[in-house]
Each structure stands twice: as structure tokens, then as C-alpha cells.
């Protein structure tokens, strides 16, 4: 009670009741104490919450607590200072103009902090939604980056309109102008926007990714980069092929990287002089050869037609590997074994021949 009486007697001094800019000095002192109290309470609360969440993030494998740590780190001391100043000024009489300026600055501070939080949240959602499906982060790059930029730009436009509206500015005509301007920009940039949205389609639909071997029209090669406007392919000959994303979206694409096994069809012919019983045994011979080669799976082999110069056979087998070099090695080994067996069995591989019959005319 003595301390309270001391303060009452202290502030009862006429000096503290002098008026300065429309307020007694004691009101400024009260406002200053309110400022210190609110500022230190906010700082202590910030530090306490930050430490709690930071400790929790170390103990868990979740990344959502890491996001909250990032959000708290982004809150600047100047924001706490201004919040404390805003509430401390309530104890002092100020003109409506000054109060309007203080309110406007508060709106700007709050909107800015909210936008920082939304930026972190957008990055977190995009990373959580899309990156978890990718083995190679380089396959994401431009598409997700541009999605984030577009979302953030839209949020900033909305935030600016909200601030202007709260400051008493009529934003209706501004919104209409933005709409007309947006249509004009879209028409002027329709080709670029077409490629941009095509890159989104490639990313979300995933017809191919970096490292895949694809064939587009008469071009083929390994995908090196999926950009915003174009996709770059390294051809087998070594050159780089640049194809518009819009062309890729509308094209028929063969993706050999997604192939789990390769179906191989080949034909050969034997001479017409080959005995019928040997012709009957050839499919089973082919079957034994293919099944004896590691990595190959026999499907069928048939004598299927009489050609001009050969008895033709069609054979189908599968290679349980998508690698092209592996396919060529297995295919070569099968052909060599067929050649060796035919040599041993005296089976002649047919080749185009022509027999000419000449008739002698009587004089």
C-alpha cells in the first residue's frame, strides 16, 4: 500500500499535470509503461513459444513443426514494437489524422506479416504435395516454381486491394481495370502462356521426366530438362533437340523408360528344298534357343507363309529389360545360335533367287 501511496503522491506533483500537445505528461508516462509492458510480454511469449516448437521439431520426424519454426523466425522485432506502440497510444489523445496514419501503418504491418506466413505456407504445401512424388528434385524445378510464383502474385494482388479498401480507397474501378488489363496481357502473351500451361500439364500428367528416353515425331533422345517454355532432349547423335512444350502436349510420345519388358518380333525364311519334317521341327528349335538365353522369354514361333523365295517363319519373344544395349546383346546371341544350329542341321537360310526356264523353239 505504501508503494501505491508513493506513486499517487509522486504523480500528484503539478509538473506531471502540465499539458503538452493536448495531453498531460502523466498520460505520456502511462503510455510509455504500457508500451514496455506489452513489448516485453510479446517478446517473452515469442521466445517461449519458439523454444517449445523448436524442441518439438527436434524430437519429431514431421516437417509441419519446422514450418511453424520458420513462421516464428520471420516475425520481426519491429512488428512487436509497433504492436506495443499501437496499444500504448490508446492512452493518449491524438488527432484523427494521426490516428488514421497509425491505423494505416498497423494494417500494412499486419498484412505484410500475414503475407510472409502465406509465402511459407505455399512453399510448404507445394513441397509436400509434389516433391514427395519425385525421385529427382531436378524434375520438378520450373513448373512448381512458376506455380508458387503465380499463387504468391495473386495473394499479393489481393492483399494490396484489401489494404487500399481499408484505407478508404474505392477499388472497384481498379479491379475492373485489372480485369481488362489481364485480358489484354493474356491475348498478347497467349503463345507464352500456352507453353507455360503446357509445362504444367507435362508436370502433373507426367508422360515423361528427366532421364527418360522418348521418341517424338521423328526425333528421339534422353530428356535433359523440362523448362517453362521448352523441353530439351539429348539425341543419340549427341546434338540437343529443343521442342516446344505445347507441341509435346499435342504429340504422340513413346516413352521407352517406362517399358518394363520389350517385345521382339523377327522373321526369317528357309529354302524350299528344306524337308517338311525339318520345317515342322524348326519352331521347337527356336523355342529351345530362346529359352536358353538369359533374360529372354519365348512366346511363339510359326511357319506362317510361302514367300516367293522362302518358307517364312515368324518368331516372338520378350526381353525382361528395357535397356536398348541389353536388347541388342540378347537379340544378337539368339541370331548367332540360330545360325549355328542351322549350319549343324544343314538348313539353308533363304535368299532371293530366280529360276529361268528357257524353251527351245523348233525352226
**CATH for 282:** 3.30.70.100
- Picking from 236, 255, 274, the residue at the C-terminal end of a domain is 255
* 135 pLDDT tier (thresholds 50, 70, 90): very low
**233 in any annotated domain:** yes
- 36 domain residue, yes or no: no
Is the per-residue pLDDT at 144 higher than 80?
A: no
pLDDT over 90 percentage in the chain: 19
- The boundaries of the domain holding residue 340 are 262-345
8 A C-beta contact, residue 314 and residue 304:
yes
For residues 292 and 341, state if they share a domain. yes
Q: State the pLDDT at residue 182.
A: 60
Q: How many domains does the chain have?
A: 2
Picking from 330, 314, 311, the residue whose alpha carbon sits closest to that of residue 322 is 330
In a domain, 287, yes or no: yes
- CATH number of the domain enclosing 231: 2.30.30.60
Dist CA 234 CA 222 (whole Å) = 5
In a domain? residue 270: yes
pLDDT of residue 81: 78
Indicate left, alpha or beta for 274 from its phi (over 0: left) and psi (-120 to 50: alpha). Answer: beta
Residue 233 shares a structural domain with residue 266: no
Query: What value does the mean pLDDT take over residues 246-274?
Result: 86
The predicted structure's pLDDT at residue 165: 75
Spacing of C-alpha 159 from chain mean position: 26
**For 278-321, how does the pLDDT look when each residue is reduced to its tens digit (9 = 90+)?**
999 999 999 999 999 998 999 999 999 998 889 999 999 999 88
In a domain, 2, yes or no: no
Residue 250 falls within a domain, yes or no? yes
Please indicate, yes or no, if residue 329 is contained in any of the structural domains: yes
For residue range 8-57, list pLDDT tens digits in order: 555 555 655 566 566 666 677 777 788 888 888 877 777 777 677 666 66
Q: Is 174 domain-assigned?
A: no
How far apart (Å, rounded) are the C-alpha atoms in residues 83 and 72?
16
Amino acid at each position: 500500500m505504501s508503494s501505491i501511496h508513493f506513486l499517487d503522491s509522486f504523480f500528484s506533483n503539478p509538473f506531471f499535470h502540465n499539458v503538452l500537445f493536448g495531453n498531460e505528461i502523466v498520460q505520456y508516462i502511462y503510455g510509455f509503461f504500457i508500451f514496455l509492458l506489452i513489448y516485453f510480454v510479446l517478446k517473452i511469449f515469442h521466445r517461449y513459444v519458439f523454444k517449445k516448437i523448436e524442441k518439438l521439431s527436434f524430437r519429431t520426424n514431421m516437417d509441419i513443426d519446422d514450418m511453424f519454426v520458420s513462421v516464428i523466425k520471420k516475425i520481426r522485432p519491429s512488428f512487436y514494437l509497433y504492436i506495443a506502440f499501437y496499444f500504448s497510444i490508446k492512452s493518449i489523445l491524438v488527432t484523427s489524422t494521426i490516428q488514421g496514419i497509425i491505423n494505416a501503418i498497423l494494417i500494412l504491418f499486419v498484412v505484410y506479416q500475414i503475407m510472409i506466413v502465406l509465402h511459407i505456407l505455399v512453399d510448404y504445401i507445394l513441397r509436400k504435395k509434389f516433391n514427395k512424388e519425385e525421385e529427382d528434385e531436378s524434375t520438378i524445378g520450373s513448373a512448381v516454381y512458376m506455380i508458387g510464383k503465380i499463387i504468391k502474385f495473386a495473394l499479393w494482388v489481393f492483399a494490396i486491394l484489401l489494404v487500399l479498401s481499408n484505407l478508404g480507397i474505392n477499388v472497384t474501378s481498379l479491379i475492373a481495370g485489372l480485369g481488362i488489363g489481364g485480358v489484354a496481357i493474356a491475348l498478347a502473351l497467349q503463345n507464352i502462356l500456352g507453353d507455360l500451361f503446357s509445362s504444367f500439364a507435362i508436370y502433373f500428367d507426367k508422360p515423361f521426366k528427366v532421364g527418360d528416353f522418348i521418341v517424338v515425331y521423328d526425333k528421339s533422345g534422353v530428356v535433359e530438362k523440362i523448362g517453362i517454355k521448352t523441353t530439351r532432349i539429348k539425341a543419340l547423335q549427341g546434338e540437343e533437340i529443343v521442342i516446344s512444350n505445347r507441341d509435346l502436349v499435342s504429340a504422340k510420345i513413346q516413352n521407352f523408360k517406362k517399358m518394363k519388358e520389350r517385345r521382339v518380333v523377327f522373321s526369317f525364311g528357309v529354302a524350299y528344298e528344306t524337308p517338311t519334317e525339318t520345317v515342322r521341327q524348326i519352331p521347337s528349335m527356336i523355342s529351345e534357343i530362346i529359352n536358353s538365353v538369359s533374360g529372354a522369354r519365348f512366346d511363339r514361333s510359326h511357319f506362317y507363309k510361302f514367300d516367293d523365295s522362302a518358307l517364312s517363319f515368324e518368331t516372338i519373344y520378350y526381353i525382361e529389360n528395357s535397356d536398348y544395349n541389353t536388347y541388342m546383346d540378347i537379340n544378337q546371341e539368339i541370331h548367332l545360335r540360330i545360325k549355328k544350329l542351322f549350319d549343324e542341321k544343314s538348313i539353308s537360310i533363304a535368299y532371293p533367287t530366280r529360276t529361268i526356264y528357257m524353251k527351245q523353239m523348233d525352226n
